[in-house]
């Protein structure tokens, strides 16, 4: 060992306590929890009630309390709750550390059936008491077996507002790392008498590596009703199912749209946000958030609910996206009033006016004030609607903003949308397609199938237009299902694009970009046949019932030894078989 290394080793603190006292990051300088731009921005927006701004900032600087949730669908959830309350929480109250009595964990007042708890105990304190160490070990083992989940309190809110029933088809658009997804699965299985609920959860994420986190989270729950997919949520493909012998489009009864955001509500947990926060973050994300939300409502069944949420307090990422979505929908969507759904939860109503600030501190209240050189960065949808009547009709006050100092949580925003009718562009392009195909038939004197492949690709069949009923699954015109249903209506057609389309003799949206494929090519899942020899030994060893659904079992290999067998519900089998391409 060199002289310098020996010297360095001699100077280093020894022992666990010393390491804990070495400051956050063990040897690195503490991150200063100050950001003047952040304070100035939120003071001007007026989101925090008068006289509470200092409390708000103080809460932001405090560490976030740890929260745990008991998984609600396990039959022994009540036993775990009883064990926690009677064995651990009572004992914790007796513990004294450094002459101070420990505060027992408290249930979250708004979470049903005392299934979620929060505690202010840090890891450092847990290490100082054998009893607390034992409690920590209990939490770790129960988390690994799927009986308990560590999850931030505010992140538990969106699934509760979705009002899930066991038959619901659910899409989680930006699902990783998967704590909300786990909640959705639990809610599907709320009725222990139904081992195979009719509903399912399709959990999507754009990041392939994060998809494995999803798989890990879902695995603990042993549910046959979960499927993980890897797509860009803003252009997530339309899936199909077989229904009454016909190939239908899959529409979802519930959609969770928890979009990527600037994350300024997570400053208590993610300390680096203090340093990195700037107003341009929200300007860059607004467009993506709106595209994801639009794609979500396109895939929502009429009568279905979509919950839009962010862990940002910024109106540009919150109310601005909801207002733009409601305006595009032309009455097809409405904001649901969820004020009575979570009694005990404190929240601030959504705002109807907000301003926009650039990184260099310039403010804009209206798009007309924005210089043309900034039009690529600042979009009209970032501002509140101008028409007061239209704005009042949107009921933006039904959005919910959770502020950290009200209930010792992180910051959060959530809005519940209900779909009343098919989206207007779906109706329009459905009619358009029929007109074009009939006129092209008349011109060429041939069948519609003779139109050029380019035209066929450019004109999307509506996902259940006006005449087709977009409810549980709009039926695609027979004979065209394969080529036409692949694409849905566009996200909005610009004037220039419309003009160029008309010049080509086709009145419709522009050609869609080829979808980028993310992630890695993996072996496909293959369903086993009932006669597969692998069942003989399994059936006798586990004494399976004769009516065990063998057709729902799949594997990753056609030949050779089948090491891993997976199982899905009948409904997910339907989805997998009809979307193998």
* Catalytically annotated residues: 311
CA distances from 566 to 189, 223, 295, 328 (A): 18, 10, 30, 42
Binding residues for S-adenosyl-L-methionine: 174-180, 205, 232, 258
Q: For residue 178, give the nearest of 217, 149, 230 by alpha carbon.
A: 217
CA triple 384-389-391, angle to 5 deg: 25
The whole-angstrom separation of Cα 148 and Cα 140 is: 9
Helix 36-45, helix 53-61: angle, nearest 10 = 140
On whether the CB atoms of residues 64 and 411 are closer than 8 A, the answer is no
**Token pair recorded at residue 514:** 């080829």
The whole-angstrom separation of Cα 506 and Cα 515 is: 22
The whole-angstrom separation of Cα 77 and Cα 63 is: 29
**Token pair recorded at residue 5:** 């290394």
Backbone angles phi, psi at 178, to 5 degrees: 115, 10
What residues contact residue 426 under an 8 Å CB cut-off, 6+ apart? 298, 462, 463, 464, 465, 470, 488, 489
Q: CA Rg, the chain, in Å? A: 27
Backbone angles phi, psi at 146, to 5 degrees: 85, 10
The whole-angstrom separation of Cα 301 and Cα 59 is: 40
What residues contact residue 76 under an 8 Å CB cut-off, 6+ apart? 147
Pairing of strands 356-357, 246-249: unpaired
Strand partners, 155: none
The whole-angstrom separation of Cα 93 and Cα 106 is: 12
What residues contact residue 32 under an 8 Å CB cut-off, 6+ apart? 274
> Could you please report the per-residue DSSP string of 127-178?
TT-HHHHHHHHHHHHHHHTTSEEE--GGGGHHHHHT---TT-EEEETT-TT-
The whole-angstrom separation of Cα 143 and Cα 92 is: 20
My answer on whether omega of the bond before 334 falls inside 30° of 0, hence cis, is no
The whole-angstrom separation of Cα 160 and Cα 243 is: 30
Q: For residue 291, give the nearest of 344, 232, 239, 348 by alpha carbon.
A: 232
The whole-angstrom separation of Cα 421 and Cα 491 is: 17
**Token pair recorded at residue 49:** 């009630």
> Could you please report the per-residue DSSP string of 324-342?
HHHHHHTTSEEE---TTTS
CA distances from 307 to 104, 186, 232 (A): 33, 17, 18
Q: Which residue matches tokens 């597969």?
A: 532
Query: How distant is the alpha carbon of residue 219 from its chain centre?
Result: 18
Pairing of strands 300-310, 252-258: parallel
């Amino acid at each position: 060992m060199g002289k310098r290394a020996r010297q360095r080793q001699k100077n280093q603190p020894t022992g666990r306590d010393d390491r804990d006292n070495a400051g956050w990051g063990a040897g690195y300088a503490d991150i200063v929890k100050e950001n003047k731009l952040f304070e100035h921005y939120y003071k001007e927006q007026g989101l925090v009630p008068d006289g509470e701004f200092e409390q708000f900032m103080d809460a932001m600087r405090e560490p976030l309390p740890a929260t745990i949730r008991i998984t609600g669908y396990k039959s022994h959830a009540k036993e775990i709750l009883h064990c926690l309350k009677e064995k651990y929480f009572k004992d914790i109250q007796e513990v004294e550390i450094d002459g101070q009595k420990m505060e027992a964990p408290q249930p979250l007042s708004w979470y049903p059936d005392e299934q979620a708890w929060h505690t202010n105990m840090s890891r450092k304190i847990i290490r100082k008491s054998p009893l607390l160490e034992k409690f920590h070990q209990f939490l770790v083992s129960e988390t690994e077996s799927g009986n308990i989940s560590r999850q931030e309190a505010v992140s538990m809110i969106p699934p509760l507002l979705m009002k899930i029933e066991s038959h619901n088809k659910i899409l989680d658009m930006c699902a990783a790392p998967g704590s909300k997804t786990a909640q959705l699965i639990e809610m599907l299985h709320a009725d222990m008498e139904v081992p195979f609920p009719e509903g399912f959860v399709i959990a999507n994420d754009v990041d392939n590596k994060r998809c494995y986190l999803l798989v890990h989270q879902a695995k603990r729950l042993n549910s046959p009703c979960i499927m993980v997919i890897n797509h860009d949520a803003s252009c997530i493909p339309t899936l199909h199912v077989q229904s009454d012998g016909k190939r239908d489009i899959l529409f979802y009864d519930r959609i969770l749209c928890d979009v990527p955001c600037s994350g300024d509500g997570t400053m208590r947990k993610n300390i680096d946000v203090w340093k990195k926060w700037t107003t341009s973050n929200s300007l860059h994300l607004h467009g993506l958030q709106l595209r994801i939300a639009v794609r979500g409502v396109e895939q929502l069944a009429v009568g279905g609910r979509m919950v839009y949420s962010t862990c940002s307090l910024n109106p540009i990422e919150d109310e601005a996206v909801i207002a733009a979505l409601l305006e595009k929908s032309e009455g097809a969507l409405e904001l649901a009033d969820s004020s009575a759904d979570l009694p005990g939860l404190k929240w601030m109503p959504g705002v109807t006016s907000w301003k926009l600030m650039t990184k260099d501190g310039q403010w804009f209240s209206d798009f007309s004030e924005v210089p043309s050189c900034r039009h690529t960065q600042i979009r009209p949808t970032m501002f509140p609607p101008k028409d007061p009547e239209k704005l009042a009709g949107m009921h933006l006050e039904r959005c919910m903003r959770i502020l950290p100092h009200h209930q010792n949580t992180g910051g959060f925003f959530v809005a519940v949308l209900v779909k009343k009718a098919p989206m207007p562009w779906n109706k329009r392009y459905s009619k358009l397609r029929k007109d074009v195909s009939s006129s092209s038939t008349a011109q060429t004197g041939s069948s519609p199938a003779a139109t050029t492949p380019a035209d066929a690709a450019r004109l999307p069949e509506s996902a259940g237009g006006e005449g087709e009923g977009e409810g549980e699954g709009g039926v695609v015109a027979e004979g065209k299902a394969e080529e036409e249903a692949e694409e849905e209506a566009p996200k909005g057609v610009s004037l220039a694009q419309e003009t160029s389309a008309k010049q080509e003799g086709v009145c419709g949206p522009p050609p869609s970009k080829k979808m980028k494929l993310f992630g890695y090519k993996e072996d496909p899942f293959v369903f086993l046949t009932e006669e597969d020899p692998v069942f003989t030994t399994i059936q006798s060893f586990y004494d399976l019932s004769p009516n065990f659904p063998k057709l729902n079992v799949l594997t990753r290999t056609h030949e050779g030894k089948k090491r891993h067998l997976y199982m899905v519900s009948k409904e997910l089998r339907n989805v997998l078989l009809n979307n193998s391409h």
